[in-house]
Amino acid sequence: MDRVESAYRAGVTEAERDIASGRPKLRYGARGTWGDDLARALQAQFGVELVVLSCFVTAESSSFEAGYNATVEAHVDGIHGPGSVAAVWDEIQRRLKAAYDAWAVEQRQAEPGAAPDRVTFPPR
């Protein structure tokens, strides 16, 4: 999807306002248990709220979210060290994979010879 510069800049501006008011957020399409885990981790480690996005996007909405998140991620990384936000994502994905792997083992034990479905982890 092509980036819409005016929407990207609007996302940057809104993020700067939220940071200045002490209410930074990160905006991801994070649903279910792993989304809840991500929300708790972001709040506990950085004081950042998770805003769960719709899966229906436009070039404008995607551009706005990209500008917003890039600004907040840079702010968080500036305070907590480079790669801080990425490290949280990595940890959540490790936990998600461990939970899936445990489930897959249970399924194989319940149905010997059956192969579990492949899981695709959400992109950052």
Given this model, what pLDDT does residue 117 score? 58
What's the pLDDT score for residue 124? 47
Confidence of residue 11 (pLDDT cuts 50, 70, 90): very high
- pLDDT value, residue 53: 87
Give residue-wise pLDDT tens across range 60-114: 999 999 999 999 999 999 999 999 999 998 998 898 888 888 888 888 887 766 5
Mean per-residue pLDDT, 5-24: 97
- For 11, list phi and psi in degrees, rounded to 5: -65, -45
Q: In this predicted structure, what is the pLDDT of residue 48?
A: 95
Q: Tell me the pLDDT tens digit for each residue of 17-36.
A: 999 999 999 998 877 777 88
Number of H helices, E strands in the chain: 4, 2
Q: What is the DSSP string of 11-32?
A: HHHHHHHHHHTT--EEEE---H
